[in-house]
Amino acid sequence: MLVKTAPDIRSADITDKKLYLARREFIRAAAATTVGAAAGVLGVGAAEAQSWPRVKIPGALKDSGWGKGEKPNAYQDITTYNNFYEFGTEKEDPAANAHTLKTTPWTVKIDGLVSKPADYHLEDIVKPEALEERVYRLRCVERWSMVIPWVGFPLANLLKRVEPRSNAKFVEFTTLLNQQQMPGTRRDVLQWPYVEGLRLDEAMHPLTILAVGLYGEYLPNQNGAPIRLVVPWKYGFKSIKSIVRIRLTDREPMNSWQLSAPHEYGFYSNVNPERDHPRWSQARERRIGEFFMRPTLIFNGYGDQVASLYAGMDLKRYY
């Protein structure tokens, strides 16, 4: 199958200059007359005290070329606006509460239909890899999105190392579950532990990465430290955080959100403006930092790279 690997994200993000300026003027005018709140819209404000350690990832990071021309969102926004229910269901909760997460030592159990099942130490997973910077869009199912400069490596590299068996069709991921470290898990807001899954070809796709950092630094806890998945053409909840287990299987995994509300969240969860969430439209999204909601793109704009995975598939049925 032909997979286009052109990293440039083009027409979707280049707006007509006049309209762009007009919109900027509108926003400025709104800010001048609307007290306070509008200033917040433009992201103007005091920098919050960063209360988590920021550690630069040593060594040079390869520039993958992904996300050229995309302006990443502010570090402040990326690290204080999170859905990580294990640490609370409000957006500010993970940044405030995730300091209790213990990220070293960290082990990822890789098992199931693989030739080399084992409990892998994080260092053994990451050290052999040439980490690269991938600037990806992340589109949350709640209709907001950000551009995040991840640091990671292709998931395919890890999977090849553990040699999936020929009958392996899916990859299942599991997040850490620890009630002491994760206060939000004391309530069954979702069924814990958090589970996600991919079809094997999705997992092997060059776009799919395991991320260990962002903005050149190791992941803050609230962003899914120390290792998480990023699948940019799917809704954000599929980019599972703080992974402790990767299992190859021949059956479609039951991911946590589908378990919680099957008519609202499915397995594939590809970004699709034509398939509404039962309670809201998915046709538009708010890019954090902007006022006007931009049209949502099929596969979050990565259609050239991934559409072929779903050729002939009814995406309204397999949501």
Partner 1 sequence: MKLLVFAAALVPFAHLLWRGFNGDLTADPLVEITNETGIWTLRFVVITLAITPIRRASGWNPVIRVRRMLGLFAFFYGMLHFLTYLVGDRFASLDFPDGFVAWSTLVNLLASIWEDVAKRPYITVGFIAFVSMIPLALTSTAGWIRRLGGRNWQRLHRLIYLTGIAGVTHYWWRVKADTLHPAIYAGIIALLLGYRLALSIKRRKGSRVPSSGSRFEVAPGTPSASE
Q: Total residues at the site for partner 1 (CB under 8 A)? A: 43
Q: Where does 41-181 show beta strands of DSSP type E? A: 62-63, 107-112, 118-121, 132-139, 144-154, 170-175
Q: Are 193 and 174 in contact (CB under 8 A)?
A: yes
8 binds partner 1 (CB under 8 A): no
75 binds partner 1 (CB under 8 A): no
Q: Are 19 and 66 in contact (CB under 8 A)?
A: no
User: Per CB under 8 A, which region of 83-91, 98-106, 127-135, 213-221 contacts partner 1?
Assistant: 83-91
Distance CA 74, CA 95 (A): 15
In the complex, least distance from residue 4 CB atom to partner 1, rounded to whole angstroms: 29
In the complex, least distance from residue 104 CB atom to partner 1, rounded to whole angstroms: 28
41 binds partner 1 (CB under 8 A): yes
233 binds partner 1 (CB under 8 A): no
In the complex, least distance from residue 42 CB atom to partner 1, rounded to whole angstroms: 9
Distance CA 233, CA 306 (A): 8
Distance CA 289, CA 40 (A): 9
73 binds partner 1 (CB under 8 A): yes
Closest to partner 1 by CB, 22 or 32: 22
8-state DSSP, 268: S
In the complex, least distance from residue 91 CB atom to partner 1, rounded to whole angstroms: 5
Query: Cβ contacts of residue 48 below 8 Å, gap of 6+?
Result: 76, 80
291 binds partner 1 (CB under 8 A): yes
C-alpha torsion 13→279→242→101, nearest 10: 110
| Residue span 168-187 as binding mask against partner 1, x where in contact by CB under 8 A, dash where not | -------------------x
20 binds partner 1 (CB under 8 A): no
Distance CA 129, CA 158 (A): 9
Residues near partner 1 (CB under 8 A) are: 22, 26, 35-41, 43-46, 48, 73-74, 76-78, 80-81, 85, 89, 91-92, 142, 144, 146, 187, 189-190, 260-261, 279-280, 283-284, 286, 288-289, 291-293
